[in-house]
Amino acid sequence: MSMNVKKKLNLSNLSTTMSLRDMIDLRKSSGVYAHMLKDNRKKLDIHNHIASLPFGYNQLNFSFQEMKDISMHCQIKPSLGVFPDEIYHEYLNRFMDNIDRYYHKIFLCNSGSESNELAIKLATIKHGKKNFPNYNSHDEFLLKKNMGKLVSDANVISFMGGFHGRYLGSLSTTHSKTVHKKYVPAFSNWPILNYPLEKEEEPEVLQRFEKLCSDSNTAACIIEPIQCESGDRRASDYFYRNLRAIASNYDVTFIVDEVQTGFGATGKFWAHKYWNLNTPPDIITFGKKSRTCGLLFNTQHSILESHQLFNTWCGSGIDLIIGNHIASKINENLLKGVRENSKKFKKRFEEEIKEKYFNFRSRGYIIAFDCESTDARNKLVEELYQKDVIVNSCGEKSIRLRPSYNFTLDHFEIFLEKLKETI
């Protein structure tokens, strides 16, 4: 490794994340391969920047007009909640056409955590307006001191093992790694339910869920279609259908966090489509593969006063243009390929890997398997990195794979050969 690269890697001293592993040469990276600077080698990337690259490296072929529009938004980042330009309005309409026209409202922001934070905020505002529609100037005076009836004490239901973000509200619904929560205030009255990993556990959880929903103080519940941070765990589709039905019966806002699972990751555009719901979720949050982040909701949640959902930029015009380009490429043929390749890879994994690694599970390109222990898993991540394969860890002892959509069966075979070398 050259002194120049060593110097660049020392930039990690400036970063507050303390998680820098290597530096990447984006110009030399292409398709499913990342070119890393430490050893100046290309590596098969099944990590994909924490599952945020839907089409790998340098594969988005923007039109001339898209490049022009991106360039304009490089010059000026307008406050889109106050003075949006015509470009933004045009792309926002296209984006809605490409992702889900069931929803009439969208709010864009800058991270999955923020998407979930705002979804929780939206749900509690709806709950508050329903319960306290009338107030006076004294109530508003008390509110400035965090006092009075306009300060919500509503509950938001979440599930053990869930991960919804690192902000205050979303963090209170996050129950995976303790490192995220240390020394941070929490909404400690918010109820937390067990997440059922076996079908026989589901009736008891549903019973408890209904009891909580029947409490008039319950505003919302938030859940992921797959608990990715906790090891790619998921309950049955039947369980989710029943959650949705119960929440509807009690007018509890049903928030589905599709930050990790949306935009085709599971072989359907939205993972909740596997549930065959009679009524779609009240709010969907999205991020990662979508490039732009945000939430979708309908008119029954559009009861806001000016600036209640707001920030300086309200998202990014550049990210919206790129997100729309990505969404336009995710068609049924692509999704069918994701589903079929996933099944074929599962079959090949179970044929080739007879020991040491087990409990393979997948839904589309949300793929994971287990190692014998946490230490064994961590060792495998490093071993594969030395063999020019980038993977990520999740849960207690799991490896997660997040292939981009241009990942082929040949690439899966390369991975299997590298994995067999570690046995």
CATH number at residue 233: 3.40.640.10
- Asked if 376 and 407 sit in the same domain, the reply is yes
Q: 248: phi > 0 → left, psi -120 to 50 → alpha, else beta; which? A: alpha
Residue 9 is predicted with a pLDDT of: 62
Residue 382, SS3?
helix
Residues 143-147: what's their mean pLDDT? 95
Q: Is residue 112 part of a domain?
A: yes
- Asked if 113 and 169 sit in the same domain, the reply is yes
Residue 4 is predicted with a pLDDT of: 65
Residues 117-133: what's their mean pLDDT? 94
Counted domains in the chain: 2
Q: Is residue 59 part of a domain?
A: no
| 237: number of Cβ within 10 Å | 14
For residue 421, pLDDT beyond 70: yes
Residues 353-363: what's their mean pLDDT? 94
pLDDT in tens, 235-250: 999 999 999 999 999 9
pLDDT in tens, 258-303: 999 999 999 999 999 999 999 999 999 999 999 999 999 997 887 7
Read out DSSP for 268-291? SSSGGGGG--SS--SEEEE-GGGS
Helix (H) or strand (E) holding 90: helix 86-99
| 247: number of Cβ within 10 Å | 24
Report CA torsion sign: 124, 251, 238, 363.
negative
- Asked if 121 and 265 sit in the same domain, the reply is yes
Q: pLDDT confidence of 14, banded at 50, 70, 90? A: low
Domain closes at, from 284, 310, 329: 329
Residue 10 is predicted with a pLDDT of: 65
| Mean pLDDT, all residues of the chain | 94
Residues contacting residue 412 through CB under 8 Å, at least 6 positions apart: 341, 344, 345, 348, 403
- Asked if 254 and 325 sit in the same domain, the reply is yes
Amino acid at 169: G
pLDDT in tens, 388-417: 999 999 999 999 999 999 999 999 999 999
Domain closes at, from 301, 329, 357: 329
Task: Find out whether 247 and 255 touch, Cβ atoms under 8 Å.
Answer: no
**Can you say how many angstroms the Cα of residue 167 is from the centroid of all Cα atoms in its chain?**
14
User: β-strands 253-257, 218-223: how paired?
Assistant: parallel
Rounded Cα gap, residues 215 and 211, in angstroms: 7
Residue numbers of the domain that contains 386 = 3-54+331-421
Rounded Cα gap, residues 329 and 263, in angstroms: 10
Residue 6 is predicted with a pLDDT of: 60
- Asked if 358 and 388 sit in the same domain, the reply is yes
Least confident of 127-131, 236-240, 282-286, 364-368: 127-131
Q: Is residue 60 part of a domain?
A: no
Residue 8 is predicted with a pLDDT of: 63
**Can you say how many angstroms the Cα of residue 133 is from the centroid of all Cα atoms in its chain?**
34
- Asked if 81 and 47 sit in the same domain, the reply is no
Identify any residues that bridge with 45 across adjacent strands, giving them in sequence order.
390
- Asked if 281 and 168 sit in the same domain, the reply is yes
Instruction: Say if pTM beats, i.e. exceeds, 0.85.
Output: yes
Residue 185 is predicted with a pLDDT of: 94
Structure tokens at 208: 């408890």
Q: pLDDT confidence of 1, banded at 50, 70, 90? A: low
Q: Is residue 399 part of a domain?
A: yes
User: β-strands 218-223, 155-159: how paired?
Assistant: parallel
Q: pLDDT confidence of 354, banded at 50, 70, 90? A: confident
pLDDT in tens, 195-225: 999 999 999 999 999 999 999 999 999 999 9
For residue 97, pLDDT beyond 90: yes
Residue 114 is predicted with a pLDDT of: 97
Residues contacting residue 26 through CB under 8 Å, at least 6 positions apart: 57, 58
Identify any residues that bridge with 400 across adjacent strands, giving them in sequence order.
368, 392
For residue 304, pLDDT beyond 90: no
Amino acid at 401: L
- Asked if 43 and 108 sit in the same domain, the reply is no
Please provide the distance, in angstroms rounded to a whole number, between the alpha carbons at the two ends of the chain: 29
Residue 302 is predicted with a pLDDT of: 78
Share of the chain above pLDDT 70, in %: 96
Residue 273 is predicted with a pLDDT of: 98
For residue 139, pLDDT beyond 70: yes
Q: Is residue 241 part of a domain?
A: yes
Residue 18 is predicted with a pLDDT of: 66
Structure tokens at 200: 């026989």
Residues contacting residue 326 through CB under 8 Å, at least 6 positions apart: 54, 55, 60, 263, 289, 290, 291
Residues 14-33: what's their mean pLDDT? 85
Domain closes at, from 266, 295, 329: 329
User: β-strands 293-297, 358-363: how paired?
Assistant: unpaired
Q: Where are the beta strands (DSSP E) in 37-97?
A: 41-45
